[in-house]
Structure 1
């Protein structure tokens, strides 16, 4: 006859090791830093939306990891990655960051342009230095799309807080050119009803590459599975899913 003590020990064993009573372990979660300006990253009805968050979620789903998305101004996204405060991010590749970040996967390419008002097209790079054509150039705060323009002492530049301010100032002749990204400027100008006010597609200056990037000195207690992240990003790019997300937001029709 089984003793009462033995029965109690058996019951205790079953309680401790039954799946119903095992401690719940949450899957590892990683922090993703996203640029905060529409359409790349923004909040709508309390939800984080945009090109970058959608790409990040697609990568996370493909890699089978959980992420928490943080929206930040462009300059803070860069610093978050460089300082290891975020596990990964997507932003333009810049040689200034080479010592502090690793470039995991190229996701998309965009054109940097100088946009002018209708009736004042820029037909060559030489015209940038013609004061009758370009008296002043506006650029977005925290960006460094074209340092050769911003650091040129021959050019008068103004820092702007966002695309909306830049386009409105260009439309009201408070600046004569706007240093910007082609598709994003077109997107914002359509929202403002100003698409026909500007000389699209603008004067092309260079292309910039948006890369998935991670800090060189990432956390050691919960390291990001970089191999899985890279494979997921490359698969999404190859299958055209990244382009599909871009077109969803940057429709030109």
Structure 2
């Protein structure tokens, strides 16, 4: 009887150890969310891709962590960073996230622009008053524009939708980072219809992690991995790859 009892205890401990090991293994999987904006993050034939998508995967691999990476809109990522459902992302700083994330490392600064149709040039932000901008839902590209009630904003699901609305005359201009706007226009074959850009802000994307993430203790490892990749020129390589992919002339 005693032997059977001891065997039962041993089996129970073995099962517990296996479950604990599996649990620890699961905890090593970092949940990444990549912004759904071409060329940084997008689904191509149901396969996620993009500059930030690939870069985040490279960072986690370099740091020795397994990861799961999902493409998601700004609003969802902001919510999930607050709740801890998302561990890590690459995007601009947002005031509403100031108390919810740790900023790990900056990427090169991006220019945010407003672009209308060919032949139309906006001299200043004040010239946008009375106009309607296609504005990515959940994003913030210019505090001045955001706070001006005379500048109308039509929220869109992605930059491509904004370009399509511009061409159809439903909005007067599109706002966003220069590269995604040009990329979307190139894919749609509408580059020749775009006017001169008005630079409205310069903002820096950051590798950032949720304060509710168990991986917040490894920010130094992530920063080291990121800087290693930058020195190797991995970001520039990704930018060149996706610039070619989104250029119909090069295909």
With the shorter chain as reference, the TM-score category is 0.7 to 0.9
Equivalent residues, number: 225
User: What is residue 182 of structure 1 aligned with on the other side?
Assistant: 178
Q: 1:161: how far off? A: 2.1
- Counterpart secondary structure, 2:107: strand
- Counterpart secondary structure, 1:137: strand
Q: 1:174: how far off? A: 1.6
CA distance in 2, matches of 1:45, 1:109: 30
Among candidates 202, 227, 230, match of residue 207 of structure 1:
202
Alignment partner of 1:163 is 2:159: yes
Structure-2-length-normalised TM-score: 0.81
More helix by share: 2
Q: 1:109: how far off? A: 2.0
The answer as to whether partners of 1:107 and 1:233 remain within 8 angstroms in 2 is no
CA distance in 2, matches of 1:172, 1:44: 25
Query: What RMSD over aligned residues (CA atoms) do the two structures have, in Å?
Result: 2.3
The gaps in structure 1 that reach 5 residues or longer are: 1-15, 17-22
Q: 1:250: how far off? A: 3.1
Q: 1:128: how far off? A: 2.4
The range that moved more, 241-250 or 52-61, is 241-250
- Counterpart secondary structure, 2:120: coil
Q: 1:186: how far off? A: 0.4
Change (3 A) 1:223 1:98: closer
CA distance in 2, matches of 1:157, 1:29: 38
Greater C-alpha radius of gyration:
1
Q: 1:104: how far off? A: 0.2
Q: 1:224: how far off? A: 5.3
Q: 1:155: how far off? A: 1.7
Query: Which consecutive aligned stretches of 4+ in structure 1 deviate over 4 angstroms post-superposition?
Result: 23-27
Q: 1:26: how far off? A: 4.5
Alignment partner of 1:232 is 2:219: no
The answer as to whether partners of 1:91 and 1:210 remain within 8 angstroms in 2 is yes
- Counterpart secondary structure, 2:228: helix
